[in-house]
Structure 1
Amino acid sequence: MVTTRRGRRPAGGGVSLTFEVIAETLRERIRSGGLKPGDALPTQAAVIREFGASSLTVQKAMALLKQEGWAVSRPGKGAFVAHHAHPDDADGPDGPEATAPAGGTMAHVEALERALADAVEQIADLRARVEALETGSSERGH
């Protein structure tokens, strides 16, 4: 068996990584109508329970869905199904025009702004955690 660095597939390997399995499962729920545009995606905790995955794995799956245009983030509210048909969803009866992202460039700019706001929020949260750990360590060490 070929071993590789964690998270990497061996050459020619057809096995999906856990975050890809999670993302595909959520894509299928969107395609099938189980999750509709504007619906909240399952919380990180719910996905962790359902798939037995780590929080980092779930975050990677959600980031992939956002990057591909399947989901959008609303800071402080969570992740939601995007309000347009996805370009990969070619089953639509109206052809490619019906699956183009709503709003074109502006929608992409808004999605990037939301992603940036999410990243800033995550950085602030991580800084707070580090400060709390450092404060706790210095109090216990002295």
Structure 2
Amino acid sequence: MAGVMATRRGRRPAGGGVQLTFEVIAETLREQIHSGRLKPGDALPTQAVLMREFGASSLTVQKAMALLKQDGWAISRPGKGAFVAHHDQVGADALDRPEVTAPAGGTAARVEALEQALAEAVEQLAELRARVAVLEAGNDEPGL
């Protein structure tokens, strides 16, 4: 078989532009989030649903979800599932950036994701407090 390059399972051939299944799943979900079909706080499809829809293994779906979480598109709620991350606006260039090929996970990545989620929550609280203050200031009339 001269000229035919054998590749290990799960490896992308050098120069290959074909996405792996976990990348296809992640990209599909990112597009649904970007288009508004899935909104912040919405539950993402379950692992079983994604396995069935894409004909993928559980490991493949887990890799897709890890990629979405790593890139800030999704968050996990233990015992409840994965949800679309709360962002006022996910950057439009996020769809165009190259995919991260390093494996997701590890303590440093988790700490960074938690710090980002905490910072976003603090911003949302500040915005809500400001809205409440505006509403309270405008409701000086009796009976409101």
Aligned length: 98
2:93 and 2:18 map into 1 onto residues whose CA distance is 25
1:10 and 1:26 map into 2 onto residues whose CA distance is 25
Residue 21 of structure 1 corresponds to 24
**Is the CA contact 2:73–2:84 (under 8 Å) kept in the aligned structure 1?**
yes
Gaps of 5+ in 1: 92-104, 113-142
Which of 57, 66, 86 does residue 90 from structure 2 map onto? 86
**Is the CA contact 2:76–2:82 (under 8 Å) kept in the aligned structure 1?**
yes
2:71 and 2:112 map into 1 onto residues whose CA distance is 16
User: Can you list the C-alpha shifts for 1:60-83, whole angstroms capped at 9, x where unaligned?
Assistant: 000000000000001111000000
Task: Give the helix-richer structure, 1 or 2.
Answer: 1
2:12 and 2:21 map into 1 onto residues whose CA distance is 12
3-state SS in 2 of match to 1:62: helix
Q: Larger C-alpha radius of gyration, 1 or 2?
A: 2
Q: 1:106 to 1:64 in 2, by over 3 A?
A: closer
- 4+ residue stretches of structure 1 with deviation over 6 A? none
Q: TM-score, normalised by structure 2?
A: 0.62
Which of 71, 74, 77 does residue 74 from structure 2 map onto? 71
Residue 118 of structure 1 corresponds to none
Q: TM-score, normalised by structure 1?
A: 0.63
Higher RCO (CA 8 Å, separation ≥ 6 residues):
2
RMSD value, Cα: 2.3
